[in-house]
Chains A and B, each alone.
Chain A
Amino acid sequence: MTDVREDKLETAARRLATDISPDRDLWPGIAETIASPRRPRWTPMLAQAAAVVLLIGASSAVTYVAVKGQEGPVVQVAPELLFEQASFGSHNLGPGFQDARNMLAAEFDAELVRLAPEVRDDVEANLKIVRIAIVEISQALEEDPDNVLLQERLLRAYRDELSVLRRVGGLTRNVMMRNDI
């Protein structure tokens, strides 16, 4: 009985698909790495620290340093300029956004110093991930500026950054201050 079932298992296993197409085209990631072997690997899926885009600082004050290509120009972009870049068509990240971000940023910076080191590292790592996404999408947009989908994604990426700032800011203080007696 067991043998019969195991044989059926063997037969069925041989029929399982061995060729499976990936959901997305994996070649670009490979091409980029083999083209410039000395550049650290850029893997968007894990968004590990990439030398392609180096983000300095983990507080709300961020300097984006975008390295384009192995020998290409080093572009230093301040957050305000990046926000300006995200103002297109009917979408606008104007001064209102800046003010909101500044407010959240202040709370966030104050909270950062209160966090335990491991948590602070965690938050910084995650903020980095969100910012890498912002730069990735910005770069894609540069090559395809009229892409409405990319424009929407960029705006949502900025919103994601704000969301992290908002969710983390003031947490510890709120707990400590509660019903302070």
Chain B
Amino acid sequence: MKKLTLVIVGVLFAWPVMAGEVDETLDAASDGRVDISNIAGSVTVRGWSRDQVEVTGTLGRNVEKLIFERNNNKVTIKVKVPRKSGRGIDSDLHVNVPENSSIDVGAVSADIEVSDVLGEQSLQTVSGDVITAAAADVVAGSVSGDVEVSGDNSDIEAEASTVSGDVTLFRVSGEVSAESVTGDVVVDEGSFDRVDVGTVNGQVLFQSALRKDGKFSAETVNGAVDVEFVGAVSAKVDVDTINGRIRNCFGPDAERISKYGPGWTLNFTSGDGDGRVDISTVNGGINLCSK
């Protein structure tokens, strides 16, 4: 008996309360809103079937506190740091939310990862990657980092952008805008009414369908554009480069803009011409095909 007591006491002292660990739960609306702010570290959000928001993870040692509260339909999670925050504020948050919630995540120096959330998403970080699976409208942005949005081919409005990094949209459908400055933009296996993609230094790779009346625009300054429309395209097509060849597998051949310059242009109507396809580069070749 004495021995047992000693062991228990030992255990209690061996595990001092860690101010950094978080494990809290709140009841929440099944389709409400969850706002999450974390300056540094990481934010991982998962949708689940409970009408609760659960936050687990670790807070940096200099974090003032974790704000976690509910106001009717809105749950707020915020890592509060001292004004002049420097070191020791890195916090890793794992947040489970009711799957029909819409979420708004803001971070500065943190990666954001989201899955199984069916509501709208707004995800913004400054330095870090944003990776999400989207079933409803999504705005995902970074400055220094990649942005990856995968979908289930249901129609949504997706906006993905970064300054230094790649933007990848996979099985996203509906309307999409994606931009980078240094980095590639890749849009695969989707089907669209509107596409607005571009980068300054990098490539644009597009392999998806453009619907009837669809509007497609892709541009780079320095970089190639490779567009493969899945299925037929019914649009007025305008493609041009200042310096770069245009190769197309449908429609007439491209023409030189001038006898002396290195630019090419391609203008024609495909199908009934009810949509629009605009592709342009300054320095870069363009491949255009429809299969």
Q: Please give the residue numbers on chain A whose beta carbons come within 8 Å of chain B beta carbons, in ascending order.
A: 21-25, 28, 44-47, 115-116, 118-119, 122-123, 125-126, 129-130, 133, 136-137, 140, 144, 149-150, 152-153, 156-157, 160, 163-164, 167-168, 171-172, 174-176, 178-179, 181
Contact partners of B242 in chain A: CB under 8 A = 137, 140, 149-150, 153
Contact partners of A136 in chain B: CB under 8 A = 282
Shortest CB distance A94–B (Å): 24
Bound-state CA distance A154–B63 (Å) is 46
Bound-state CA distance A89–B261 (Å) is 23
Contact partners of B109 in chain A: CB under 8 A = 116, 119
- Residue of B76, B127, B201, B262 near A46 (CB, 8 A) is B201
Known: A45-B223, A126-B164, A167-B141. 5 other contacts (CB 8 A): A46-B201, A47-B200, A116-B109, A167-B163, A174-B124
Shortest CB distance B87–A (Å): 12
Contact partners of B141 in chain A: CB under 8 A = 167
Bound-state CA distance A123–B106 (Å) is 19
Residue pair A167, B143 in contact (C-beta under 8 Å): yes
Which residue of chain B has its CB nearest to the CB of A140? B242
B126 at the interface (CB under 8 A from A): yes
Shortest CB distance B117–A (Å): 19
Residue pair A171, B263 in contact (C-beta under 8 Å): no
Which residue of chain B has its CB nearest to the CB of A152? B280
Residue pair A45, B182 in contact (C-beta under 8 Å): no
- Residue of A46, A129, A175, A179 near B107 (CB, 8 A) is A175
Bound-state CA distance A46–B240 (Å) is 21
Determine the main DSSP class of B at the interface with A: strand
Q: Which of B171-204 contact A (CB under 8 A)?
A: 179, 181-182, 200-201
Q: Please give the residue numbers on chain B whose beta carbons come within 8 Å of chain A beta carbons, in ascending order.
A: 35, 37, 39, 67, 76, 78, 80, 106-109, 124, 126-127, 141, 143-144, 161, 163-164, 179, 181-182, 200-201, 219, 221-224, 240-245, 247, 257, 261-263, 265, 280, 282-285
Determine the main DSSP class of A at the interface with B: helix
Residue pair B67, A122 in contact (C-beta under 8 Å): no
Residue pair B240, A149 in contact (C-beta under 8 Å): yes
In the A-B complex, the 5 residue pairs with the smallest Cβ-Cβ separation, listed nearest first, are A23-B285, A175-B106, A24-B244, A23-B245, A25-B262
Shortest CB distance A124–B (Å): 10
Bound-state CA distance A115–B282 (Å) is 31
Shortest CB distance A172–B (Å): 5
Bound-state CA distance A157–B163 (Å) is 14
Shortest CB distance A111–B (Å): 9
Residue pair A175, B108 in contact (C-beta under 8 Å): yes
Residue pair B283, A44 in contact (C-beta under 8 Å): yes
Which residue of chain B has its CB nearest to the CB of A160? B200
